[in-house]
Amino acid sequence: MENQGGSGSAGSHWEGRYMFGENMNMELTSEAALSDITLALLEDTGFYKVNYFSGGLFKFGKNKGCEFFNKQCVENDTANFEEFYDVPKEPKCSSATRNSKSSCYLKYESFNIPYNYFTNSSLVGIYYANFCPVST
């Protein structure tokens, strides 16, 4: 669950670092997808009967195994997974569904962040993805 933000986001949405681009994420993208994980959650509440055929479009971190959760998104200025970026404005496929062109979200900030992925500690990604650089 999300560990950042206020009472409306922390603990009530999927963690953006692992589920970026999902509809139940705090950082909505133009390509937000509905995952089978969210469909299962809704069904488990007992209030919904879901059609799993409509989900499954979510590909962020798919087939990456435990390393995706245990390794940093970027180390030594190099992205560890294709979902993350290490070059500002580098054109790539979108992080969430990989269905469209997008570019890396990286910017320079003057405040200290709890995560440092780059040798230049002012270079940061998106807040709700634990400052990992993802596509926008």
pLDDT score, position 8: 73
Assign 25 a pLDDT band (cuts: 50, 70, 90).
Answer: confident
CA 42 to chain CA centroid, nearest Å: 20
Residue with tokens 């488990």: 44
Assign 135 a pLDDT band (cuts: 50, 70, 90).
Answer: confident
Instruction: Provide the Cα torsion 9, 42, 72, 98; round to 10°.
Output: -110
Q: What does the pLDDT average to over 26-53?
A: 80
Angle of CA points 23, 60, 19, to nearest 5°? 45
Give me the phi and psi of 108, to 5 degrees please. -100, 130
Q: Which of 107, 110, 99, 102 is nearest to 126 (CA)?
A: 107
Average of per-residue pLDDT values in the chain? 77
pTM attached to this predicted model:
0.68
Rounded distance between C-alpha atoms, residue 9 and residue 4, angstroms = 7
**Contact (CB, 8 A) for 100 and 29:** no
What is the enclosing helix (H) or strand (E) of 69?
A: helix 67-70
pLDDT score, position 67: 93
Sign of CA dihedral 10, 11, 15, 19: negative
- For 46-80, the pLDDT digits (tens) are 999 988 776 556 778 888 999 999 999 998 889 89
Which residues, listed in sequence order, are joined to residue 104 by a DSSP beta bridge? 135
pLDDT score, position 26: 66
